[in-house]
Chains A and B, each alone.
Chain A
Amino acid sequence: MLPNRSRTSVLVFLLPPLLLYCAAVLFPILQSLFLSFFSWNGISDMEFVGLANYVRMLTADDIFWRSFFNALIYLAICLVLQLGGALVVASLLTSLRRGRELIKTLYLLPAVISTVAIAFLFLRIYSIDPVGLLNQLLHWVGLGSFERAWLSDVNTVLAAVSAPEGWRFTGLYMLIIYAALIAVPKELEEAAVLDGASKWTLFTKIRFPYIRPVWITTTIMATTYGLRGFDIPYLMTNGGPGQSSELLTTYMYKTAFTSTDFGYASTISVFIVIECLVAVGLILFMLKRKAD
């Protein structure tokens, strides 16, 4: 604590940020919680319905459950591409002697592009008429039988809208993991190599345990970003065909702004927040416990 500080000075510094934060984040969270107990279309009078929205969501709404499981698959694909890809590339990069900076820059490039541009780009990559990049590539390598309209096929559309999100941010996580990997003390690695450790042992026994704190942070980041994924599915398919690429976020958005069912939409967003908190709790529980 600073000796000459006064109560007023604390308030002067703290109040403006706190007010902004309350207005934009904390108050809306409470407001959503409040709205979730009402039925309201934004125009007529609000009607208190108690837990009816929650009962409807959990027991009577097939689209909700469909979106929930879709969101989990979306998350899984994003995590594999982002964290798996990031770990592989970061590890490979440490063995490189030159060009590391260039590769870091190139790899991060997609993160700078807006989601709308990415949606446009992937619409063309997946397209069948005129033939898009993916289908053309399949044709060349002799997998022509897999050619299809990726975004209209109910079996592939979810993976097709998840991949761009994974692709977009893998560079970001790679940077973070790479920075952690090069901070592993060289003496530790050299000692292990002298003791005859293989690359794989070196990785599992020395490097990974050392970067575990950073791995926990990145896993939490990637998971919470994955659970709030919205732009790309919304822009590319708007949840369709049917509900095959509907996520909780897109379903919530449509419930709020297409069906103007503010009460029920708030119930879904409360669920999304709880889902995020549970996910973060689970990650901390699993990864921390393994460390002990």
Chain B
Amino acid sequence: MITQTAPATPRASAPSSPVHQRRRRKPSLYRTLSRVLIMLIVIVQVYPLAWLFVTSLRTEHDFATGDPFALPSSLTWENYARAFETGDLGRNILNSFIVTMGANILIVLFGMMAAYAIQVLGFRLSKLVRGLFLIGIIVPVQIALVPLFIDYSAVNLLDTYQSMIIPLAGFALPMSIYLFSSFFEYIPRETYEAASLDGAGPYRIFGLITLPLSLNTVVTVVLVNSIFIWNDFIFANTFVLSEDLKTIPLGLQNYIGAMGKVDWTATFAAVCVTITPLLLVFLVLNKAMIQGLESGANKG
């Protein structure tokens, strides 16, 4: 499968000058090309978001008539004022925050507990239980919508924070258990044995050894899950109706006015406001978040 005619220099031969030159020049040409390509791809990834922000500062007239690539003729914050008038953005952000916190607490605590039971304590059917949890990684979330809708209406849980938190946490639990288990493997058995000899029971070992050691994994799990939970649309859209409980993705939908008419500049202003919290967290903690995302799959 060699498409490029590589200089078949035997390793033993001393590097003659043309080979030497080629070796130096070729990588640099390759590097220039790859730089250009990377720049192009990065522009494709980032430009739409920058455009979104610039548009939120355009006047309505400018947006409706102007060239979309052109810089705005004048900047205005009016769209932001209208965005806050149309929807209850503060409320939406607060709700998203509550749901994200609630789900994350369950995911971290329960993930850690299950991993501890499976990996550290051990029991006869632990392989089976681990397998059961793994199903949740593959299964699409849509399967739960109809059953949960029926169950929720039976126990009056429709239109509550819990109705969003339960499935969000449940479907994220397998990955969390998996990450914690792979971390617990690295804690040496001797640590536990020494603690046991000192008379510590499983609860104290969990609280004094396992929990404090896994703080890094906690950060990983929280960051990775927060992206998905903060932006969840499908569970919120299915289970929540009242304005008071709407999270950001649902709140944004309010900007589609009657008859499908959309106040685009105000909508983009609202989008900018709502992505800011997570974006700030992401930019501040991007090292930790990137590490988390990388480790998630590379351990597998």
Q: Which residues of A pack against B, CB within 8 Å?
A: 1-6, 9-10, 12-14, 16-18, 20-21, 23-29, 31-32, 35, 42, 85, 88-89, 92-93, 95-96, 101, 103-117, 120-121, 124-125, 130-133, 136-137, 167, 170-172, 175-176, 178-180, 183, 194-201, 204, 213-214, 217-218, 220-221, 224, 227-228, 230-231, 235, 249, 252-253, 256-257, 262, 265-266, 269-270, 272-273, 276-277, 280
Contact = CB atoms under 8 A, between A and B. Distances in A.
B114 A113 contact: no
Given A10-B123, A195-B11, 17 more contacts: A2-B196, A9-B121, A21-B133, A29-B135, A31-B147, A108-B286, A108-B293, A109-B45, A109-B46, A110-B48, A115-B233, A115-B249, A230-B142, A253-B142, A272-B140, A273-B139, A277-B138
Contact of A256 (B64, B145, B205, B230): B145
B237 to A, nearest CB: 9
Contacts of B118: 14
Instruction: For the complex of A and B, list the 4 residue pairs with the smallest distance between their C-beta atoms, beginning with the closest.
Output: A24-B170, A228-B140, A114-B231, A28-B147
Given A4-B202, A28-B143, A92-B38, A17 B45 contact: no
B202 A103 contact: no
Nearest to A171: B45
A176 B123 CA distance: 33
Contacts of B1: 200-201, 204
B298 A180 contact: yes
A6 B202 contact: yes
Contact of A2 (B66, B144, B177, B192): B192
B48 A9 contact: no
B167 interface: yes
A116 B297 CA distance: 27
The SS class assigned to the A binding surface is helix
Contacts of B38: 89, 92-93, 96, 103
Contacts of A112: 227, 231, 275, 278-279, 282
Nearest to B118: A14
B106 interface: yes
Nearest to A107: B45
A12 B110 CA distance: 11
23 contacts: A5-B202, A13-B114, A13-B202, A13-B206, A17-B114, A21-B136, A24-B166, A28-B144, A29-B144, A95-B30, A95-B34, A104-B290, A105-B286, A105-B290, A113-B275, A114-B248, A117-B271, A120-B268, A125-B48, A130-B65, A220-B138, A249-B140, A269-B143
Contact of A175 (B6, B120, B293): B293
Contacts of B275: 112-114, 117
Q: A5, A6, A249 — which one has the most chain B CB atoms within 10 A of its CB?
A: A5
B31 interface: yes
Given A133-B48, A136-B69, A25 B142 contact: no
B92 to A, nearest CB: 11
A136 B67 contact: yes
B253 interface: yes
B98 interface: no
Contacts of A110: 45, 48-49
A270 B145 CA distance: 12
Contacts of A18: 114, 129
A200 B264 contact: no
Interface of B: 1-9, 11, 27, 30-31, 34-35, 37-38, 41-42, 44-46, 48-49, 51-52, 55, 63-69, 106, 110-111, 113-114, 116-118, 120-123, 129, 132-133, 135-151, 166-167, 169-171, 173-174, 177, 192-193, 196, 200-203, 205-206, 227, 230-231, 233-234, 238, 248-250, 252-253, 255, 264, 267-268, 271, 274-275, 278-279, 282-283, 286-287, 290, 293-298, 300
Contacts of B174: 21
A137 B278 CA distance: 31
Contacts of A235: 233
Nearest to A115: B233
B30 A24 contact: no
Nearest to B113: A13
B142 A252 contact: yes
B46 A20 contact: no
B140 A3 contact: no
A211 to B, nearest CB: 9
A116 B92 CA distance: 14
Contacts of A277: 138
B183 to A, nearest CB: 16
A116 B233 contact: yes
Contacts of B170: 20-21, 23-25
A120 B49 CA distance: 11
Given A28-B148, A116-B249, A133-B68, A276 B30 contact: no
Contacts of A133: 48, 51, 68-69
Contact of B63 (A5, A130, A257, A262): A130
